[in-house]
Chain A
Amino acid sequence: MPEPAKSTSAAAPSWIVIFGEAARRFLLRPEATALAAVVVLFAVFSILSPALFPTKLTYISVMSVAAELGIVSIGVTLLMIGGHFDLSVGSVLGLTSYIVVALMRDHGVPPILAAPAAIIGGALLGALNGVVVVRFKIHSFVVTLGSMLIWRGVLISLTGGFPMMVSISPAFRGIMAGPFLSGFRMSMLWFFAIAIAGTFLQQRTRFGNWVQAAGQNPQAARNLGVPVGRIAIALFALAGALAAVAGVIQVARFSSVDALRGEGMALQAVAVTVIGGTLLTGGYGSVIGTVLGAITFAMIQVGLVLVGAPGHFFQTLTGLIVVGAVILNTDVAGRMLRSRPLRGFHRSSEAADAAILAAAARRESRDVEEADPQGRIGAADRGERAKP
């Protein structure tokens, strides 16, 4: 790449252009909508319920709701980026919760073995979806709709429809869902850890690149040697495994499993994923967006209770936000994706990076120059900072 200096230093872009370009780049991120939703909802609930909403207790409860839903949603997000749906994650969550409870209660298996067993079980249930989708070339929506009903039926017959209690050791509860630093639950820590791992997987690994390619243009990806079928199966297994992780967390929290555990979670996870900026058509999305989407979802749930709204508001408001997010994500994001760097950036993103950094550096060095009239520090600094 030639030096970007030609287009930046020759005619330094105006502040408006620099600001516009920075805004354009922010809007290019799939997370933009979800971040906006979080900020707006936080402001609205804080105004409506200033005494209750912006408090630590609320944050703890929002994050607790967000963590369990969010962990499930991260699996659904990666799968959706890869071009598939999984409606069975809620049932898989319920069934794997049952596995944990049954192993611990009826067979005396210690939790340190029961939890991984359930997660492996979840991965297998997910992989089964994937194999059917790939082998028989049936749309994942239909396949997982079927497996959702099947596993739910199995769970109801296994539990007999009644809640099953199990005694949970404090250590197990502490690790999975107990309070840690200043009252937040451990599940939040797991949520963030999985989100970081998921983001890394998507952005910085070969697998992640293949997932995006397979979700957008499977034929082109296959043509270049990407094992599209195996990627789909791996993604389904991952979605199942993450549903099981959330199941284990819920068992640790409630000391029980019941026939309706995880019911409705699959559609919530799809909603969270869509709010987070992942395209339903696949190929494009963000795990960070899903984290923000889960927080949005949890904030609505907790916030509406705190402002004393009737229960049905939750569904209505969630629905409105989902539709709004999809409109923003497909329409606005679609336009932004087609947009080009503003004038003065010569269509080179490196030049734009340099200009934005240089503008930031100028601003800093101006502060320095006020303290250092000769400009010794500033001048020496400027050249360095202009280059990323």
Chain B
Amino acid sequence: MSGPARSGGERNYSGDREAGIVDLHKQPRPIEPVAPDAVPVMEAISISKAFGPTTALVEVSLKAYAGRILALLGDNGAGKSTLIKILAGVFRPDGGELRFRGETIAFADPAEARRLGIATVFQDLAVCELLSITRNVVLGREPLKGFGPFRWFDLKRAEAMTRAAFEGLGVRWERGLDERGLNISGGERQSLAIARAMFFGSSLLILDEPTSALAVRQASRVLDHIAFARDQGQAVMLITHNFRHALSVADDITVLAQGRVAAHFRRDQIELEQLTELVARVA
């Protein structure tokens, strides 16, 4: 049945699956120190967390500002994922304080964090593979039409929103929006998740290892998109164990080791060799 489909010609895509995304613009940006009167979007003050006898975090403090990328570096078991789960409202800290735009908060559940616009993008959880691109982008925020209890999914508006979401990331989605999630590459999935988070008004974008499973080109594409999000005024926390990736886009770098903040500095205050050595020493 698929005979003519197969032999009708070569499959119509090049080896570079990233070709589906075209950058409309991008620009480099110098690092500036944080303005003295700037209020961090999210501030963690002396956060501690233990799971039974296992200490995960000890008095960790950090600040994420709008328009800046904070890279969180650390080896496996350094406490990175515990920290982001606390910021996303999944865990509650044993000690310490969270401040959102200067006000103390305690998340009862992840939904509360989401309502404040804290969007977490996990490596494997960016897309549902059998849903179309459009349905993936609007998932959880589907536009409806109709009235009262008779409201249904507005597919046209969902497609317009999807396009707008990609444009908000400075890219154009060149392929069909009804293409299914399993047909897009790992890099595109991360980009989709970032576009989605920004479009729906995230205040803090937390990216959990967005580049770790990607090929070099895809990774640099995703990093471009992260930088673009930052340039739009987005507060970004980039969790990674790749120093190179952290150095290429981050404004600030915090190194976690064994549940503690081992070091914190601005990106232009350190070189790759120093960073590698530092992490190797503290881990």
Total interface residues on A, CB under 8 Å, equals 49
Please indicate which of the listed interface residues B9, B131, B140, B153 has the most CB atoms of chain A within 10 Å of its own CB.
Answer: B140
Q: Which of B38-46, B178-186, B272-280 contacts A (4 or more CB under 8 A)?
A: B178-186
B139 contact from A20, A200, A209, A345, Cβ within 8 A: A209
Interface flag for B163 (CB, 8 Å): yes
Contact A204 B11 (CB under 8 A): no
Bound complex: CA A204 to CA B124 (Å)? 27
Total interface residues on B, CB under 8 Å, equals 45
Give a binary string over A184-222; 1 marks a CB under 8 Å from any B CB, 0 the rest: 000000000000000010011110111011001101111
B163 partner residues in chain A, CB cutoff 8 A = 1
Once A23-B1, A337-B180, A347-B20 are accepted as A-B contacts, the answer to whether A216 and B135 lie under 8 Å apart by CB is no
Interface flag for A340 (CB, 8 Å): yes
Minimal Cβ-Cβ distance residue in A for B143? A206
Interface flag for A383 (CB, 8 Å): no
Contact B139 A213 (CB under 8 A): yes
Contact A217 B2 (CB under 8 A): no
B51 CB, nearest partner CB in chain A, Å? 19
Contact B120 A21 (CB under 8 A): no
Minimal Cβ-Cβ distance residue in A for B179? A349
Give a binary string over A239-282; 1 marks a CB under 8 Å from any B CB, 0 the rest: 00000000000000000000000000000000000000000000
Contact B174 A347 (CB under 8 A): yes
Bound complex: CA A224 to CA B10 (Å)? 38
Contact B4 A337 (CB under 8 A): no
A337 partner residues in chain B, CB cutoff 8 A = 130, 180, 182-183
Contact B128 A223 (CB under 8 A): no
Interface flag for B13 (CB, 8 Å): yes
Bound complex: CA A348 to CA B163 (Å)? 14
A381 CB, nearest partner CB in chain B, Å? 25
Interface flag for B144 (CB, 8 Å): yes
Contact A348 B174 (CB under 8 A): yes
A16 CB, nearest partner CB in chain B, Å? 6
Once A217-B125, A221-B139, A226-B140 are accepted as A-B contacts, the answer to whether A350 and B176 lie under 8 Å apart by CB is yes
Interface flag for A338 (CB, 8 Å): yes
Contact B142 A340 (CB under 8 A): no
Contact B176 A348 (CB under 8 A): yes
Bound complex: CA A342 to CA B128 (Å)? 24
Contact B114 A21 (CB under 8 A): no
Contact B9 A24 (CB under 8 A): no
Contact B176 A341 (CB under 8 A): yes
Contact A217 B129 (CB under 8 A): yes
A204 contact from B12, B114, B152, B182, Cβ within 8 A: B152
Give a binary string over B129-156; 1 marks a CB under 8 Å from any A CB, 0 the rest: 1110001001111101000000111010
Minimal Cβ-Cβ distance residue in B for A223? B125
Once A1-B163, A206-B144, A347-B20 are accepted as A-B contacts, the answer to whether A212 and B5 lie under 8 Å apart by CB is no
Interface flag for A29 (CB, 8 Å): no
B132 CB, nearest partner CB in chain A, Å? 10
A209 contact from B129, B153, B178, Cβ within 8 A: B153
Bound complex: CA A313 to CA B120 (Å)? 55
CB under 8 Å from chain A, chain B span 108-130:
110-111, 114, 120, 122, 124-130
B18 CB, nearest partner CB in chain A, Å? 13
A217 partner residues in chain B, CB cutoff 8 A = 125, 127-129
Interface flag for B244 (CB, 8 Å): no
Contact B125 A219 (CB under 8 A): yes
Contact A343 B10 (CB under 8 A): yes
B99 CB, nearest partner CB in chain A, Å? 23
Interface flag for A70 (CB, 8 Å): no
Please indicate which of the listed interface residues B114, B122, B153 has the most CB atoms of chain A within 10 Å of its own CB.
Answer: B153
A226 CB, nearest partner CB in chain B, Å? 5
Contact B130 A343 (CB under 8 A): no
B110 partner residues in chain A, CB cutoff 8 A = 222-223
Contact B175 A347 (CB under 8 A): yes
Interface flag for A105 (CB, 8 Å): no
Bound complex: CA A284 to CA B132 (Å)? 11
Contact B153 A208 (CB under 8 A): yes
Interface flag for A19 (CB, 8 Å): yes
A220 partner residues in chain B, CB cutoff 8 A = 122, 124-128
Contact B4 A223 (CB under 8 A): no
Minimal Cβ-Cβ distance residue in B for A345? B12
Contact A216 B152 (CB under 8 A): no
Interface flag for A108 (CB, 8 Å): no
Once A200-B152, A209-B135, A209-B142 are accepted as A-B contacts, the answer to whether A283 and B178 lie under 8 Å apart by CB is no
Q: Which residues of A approach B to under 8 Å, CB–CB?
A: 1, 16-17, 19-21, 23-24, 27, 200, 203-206, 208-210, 212-213, 216-217, 219-226, 283-284, 332, 335-350, 352
What are 24 of the A-B contact pairs (CB < 8 Å)?
A200-B152, A206-B152, A209-B131, A209-B142, A213-B131, A213-B135, A216-B131, A217-B127, A219-B122, A221-B140, A223-B125, A224-B140, A225-B111, A283-B130, A284-B130, A332-B1, A339-B5, A341-B12, A342-B12, A343-B8, A343-B9, A347-B13, A347-B20, A349-B176
List 16 other contacts, CB 8 Å, given A23-B1, A220-B127: A16-B4, A21-B5, A27-B2, A204-B155, A206-B152, A206-B153, A209-B131, A209-B153, A212-B135, A217-B129, A222-B110, A336-B2, A337-B183, A342-B12, A345-B12, A349-B175
Closest 8 pairs between A and B when the two form their complex, measured CB to CB: A349-B176, A224-B140, A220-B125, A343-B9, A20-B5, A20-B4, A206-B142, A225-B140
Q: Which residues of B approach A to under 8 Å, CB–CB?
A: 1-2, 4-5, 8-13, 20, 110-111, 114, 120, 122, 124-131, 135, 138-142, 144, 151-153, 155, 163, 174-180, 182-183
